[in-house]
Amino acid sequence: MEIRGRAGRVREFLAFAKGDDAGTETAFDFNRFAPYPPEWRELDAAFDRWLNGNPDPSGGVPVNAYDRWGYQWCCHHWGTNSNAKEARYGDTAENRGTLTASVHFETAWSEPWPVVLKASELFPDLTFVLHYFEPLGDFAGCYRCSAGVGTDACWPCDQVEVNRTPDH
């Protein structure tokens, strides 16, 4: 994803976007833009402790909030079923006070356009361009937004080259 705008504001965005994903610092945390409900996070942590601590179902099984409600919540609010993975900073270029920075990350099966749209609402003076490529789903494209307004359709991205090898 590329972020472009006044250098100071882009740096503010990059600092804001940092987070913690399961105890690991990350360059881009979806929770900073659409926080997973904290009460569900607590239920999920209790379930994980139970599951990893020699579970005995005879005493009852704690609620797994992610399986019950969280999966659908994530898909609706993030556009994908889990937080950004392997988030890292990419190239930056500054020219006359305008900074273009990039953050690279992976998601499961789909592009997180709701997160990018929310980022553009919170930082309306910046422009966001999400380049995405899903090799197994065989799709790629770009999503551009600024000030809470995004493209209403994705188009083939000229910055993604897909090399396919025949299956036979």
Q: Which residues pair with 132 in a beta bridge?
A: 141
Query: Model pTM greater than 0.85?
Result: no
pLDDT in tens, 14-50: 999 999 877 789 999 999 999 999 999 999 999 998 8
pLDDT in tens, 78-128: 999 999 999 999 999 999 999 999 999 999 888 899 999 999 999 999 999
